[in-house]
Amino acid sequence: MPPTDPAQLAARDVSFSDLDSMSAQCSEQNTSSPSKKLCMVPKARRMPSKKPKDDSLLAFLCAHIVEHQIGISINLILLLSLAHICFPRARRRTRTFFELSYRDPSTGLYTQGWDDMPFVFLWTIIFTGLRVAVMDYVLKPLANFGGIRSKRARVRFAEQAWLLVYYLPVWLFGMYIMYNSSFWLDLRAMWADFPTRTMTGLVKFYYLVQFAFYFHMIIVVNIEERRKDYHQMFIHHIITCGLISMSYSYYQTKVGIVILCLMDVVDIFLSTAKDLKYLGFSVACDVMFGLFIVAWFVARHVLYLAVCYSTYVHVPEVMPYGCYDSVTGEKLAETEESGIMTHILQSFRDPGAPVCFNKRIQSNFLAFLLALQVVTLIWFYMIIKVAYKVVTGQGADDVRSDDEGEDEEEEDFDVDEDLEAHHLNGMVQLPLEEEVGVEGLHFTRQGSPSKGSGVKGYRRNGNKSGSSRSSGISIPGHGDHKELLGRIGCDKPS
C-alpha cells in the first residue's frame, strides 16, 4: 500500500545528497534529549549506478533469438519434416537430415562423407531447443521445488542439471561402445588396422551426436552469462570440435571415443557438485567436489596424457608413415609430404582414394591434444584454489563461475523501501549515507531458519522493477533488458 502520511511521502523524496545535513539534524535532536531519542539513524545501502542500455537492432535480434529458441527450433524441424513428407523429389536431400548416410547394405556398416553434416546440423537444432525446454519446464520448477528462491540460482541450477542429463547417458553409451571394442584398455589397439574406414551404426550415431552437442555448446557459452573462464571454455569447445571432425574424417574414431569418454565423466561429477551446492547440501557438495577432483586428475591428467604418449610413441610403430588403400588397408607407398588437410579430409574429398599418414599429420594431432591439455591445466589450477578453501573450512565455491551473489545483492536493494520501513510513531528515521561493501550485505530469512541451506528461504529486500525497450517491445521473463543482453553477450562493453 503506498504511503499517505506526509512524513512518509517526504521520506520518499530524500536523496543521498541530503543525508549529511539530515544526519546532523538528527544527531542534534538526540543530543538535546539524551533520555529519549527522537531520531534513529539506520544504515542505507548505496544503489549501484546503471549502465546505459543497448537498444541496437543487433541487440534486439540477439535477444529475440534467445527468447524464442524453442519456437525457432521447432519451426526449423517442422519445415524440414514437411519438406521431406510433401516433396518426394526432395527426399534425396532431406533424408540426410534424419538418417545416417553411407550405409553398406551388404555389411550393415557405415562410412564417412559430406552427407553426414546435415545430420549434425539437425541435432544441433534439436539440442538448442531441447536444452531450453528441459530447463524451463522441468529443471527450473524442480529447483523451485527444492527450495531455491533466487531467480539467478534457479537458472544456474538448471544449466548444470541439463549438462548432467546429457553427460550421464552419453558417457554410459560411450563406455558401452568402448567396452565391447577391440581397443578396451589397449592403447596400441587404438591405432591398429589403419585406416579404419567402416564403423557400426552405434559408433557413427554416437560420434555425430557428440559433434553436434559440442558445436551447440559453442553457441551456449555465448548465450549463458559470461563466466570468469569464458575464454577457456570457448577455446575448449573449439578444440574439441576440431579434434572430433578431424579424427572422424581421418578414420581415427577409436581414439576419439576414448578421449570423449575421458572428458565427459568429469563433467558428471562437476555438475552434480554444483547442483548440490545450489540445493543447500553443503556437506554432500564438498564430498562430491572431492570425488570430482580425483576424477579430473585421473581422467584428464593421467589417462589423457597416456593417450598423448601413445600418440607420440605407439603411432609410428603400429601405423608406419606411408600411403594406404582406404578400402583394404594395404600399404601402397612410402610417406608423401603433401598438404596435411588434403589427407585429413580425404574421406570427404575423395572417398575410397588412398590416404597418407606422415610425421606432420602426427605432429598436428598431438599439438591439438596438448593444447586441450593446457586448457584443462588452467582449470585444474582454479580447482586447486577451491580445494584449498574446502580444506580450510571455507566451503566449495566455484571459482570458474562469476560472482553470482554480488550481482543478486546489488540489484535487490532499494533505498526507498529502507526509508519507508523505518517510520515509527509518525517520526521519520533518517538514513545515514555509508559506503558498504559486499561483505556487509545481509539477507533476512522468512520464518524459521533451514539447516544446511545456503539459498533457501531468503526474503528479497527490494523489488526490481522491470524495464522495457524504447520501442515499446518487452521480453517476457526478462524485466531487465541489460541483464538479458549481458547473458547473451550482445551488450556493448562499457
Q: What is the pLDDT of residues 159-170, one digit of tens each?
A: 999 999 999 999
Write the DSSP symbol of residue 401.
Answer: S
Nearest Cα neighbor of 224 from 410, 466, 474, 484 is 484
Q: Give CA separation, 61 vs 55, 67, 100, 269, in Å.
A: 10, 10, 34, 36
Supply 59's cell numbers. Answer: 541487440
pLDDT tens per residue, range 88-121:
999 999 999 999 999 999 999 999 999 999 999 9
42-46, 50-54, 115-119, 194-198 — which one is most confidently predicted on average?
Answer: 115-119
Half-sphere exposure of 467 (CA within 13 A, CB side): 14
Mean pLDDT of the chain: 76
Supply 211's cell numbers. Answer: 559433434
* Sign of the dihedral through C-alpha 140, 145, 146, 148: positive
**Higher per-residue confidence, 187 vs 63:** 187
Q: Give CA separation, 407 vs 404, 410, 434, in Å.
A: 6, 5, 19
Determine the average pLDDT of the residues in 172-178. Answer: 97
Residues 6+ apart with CB under 8 A from 237: 214, 215, 217, 218, 221
On the question of pLDDT at 29 being above 90, the answer is: no
By CB neighbour count within 10 A (0-12 exposed, 13-18 middle, 19+ buried), where does 410 fall?
Answer: middle
The DSSP H or E segment spanning 43 is strand 43-44
Supply 292's cell numbers. Answer: 570430482
Determine the average pLDDT of the residues in 419-442. Answer: 44
Domain ranges for the chain: 99-392
Q: Quick one: what percent of the chain has pLDDT higher than 70? A: 67
The predicted pLDDT at position 40 comes to: 54
Determine the average pLDDT of the residues in 279-291. Answer: 91
Determine the average pLDDT of the residues in 232-255. Answer: 90
Cα–Cα distance measured from residue 157 to residue 148, given in angstroms and rounded to the nearest whole number = 9
Write the DSSP symbol of residue 53.
Answer: P
421, β-bridge pairs: none
CB atoms within 10 A of CB 176: 12
Write the DSSP symbol of residue 473.
Answer: -
Cα–Cα distance measured from residue 287 to residue 93, given in angstroms and rounded to the nearest whole number = 51
pLDDT tens per residue, range 341-366:
777 777 787 777 788 888 888 898 99
| CB distance 249 to 346 below 8 Å | yes
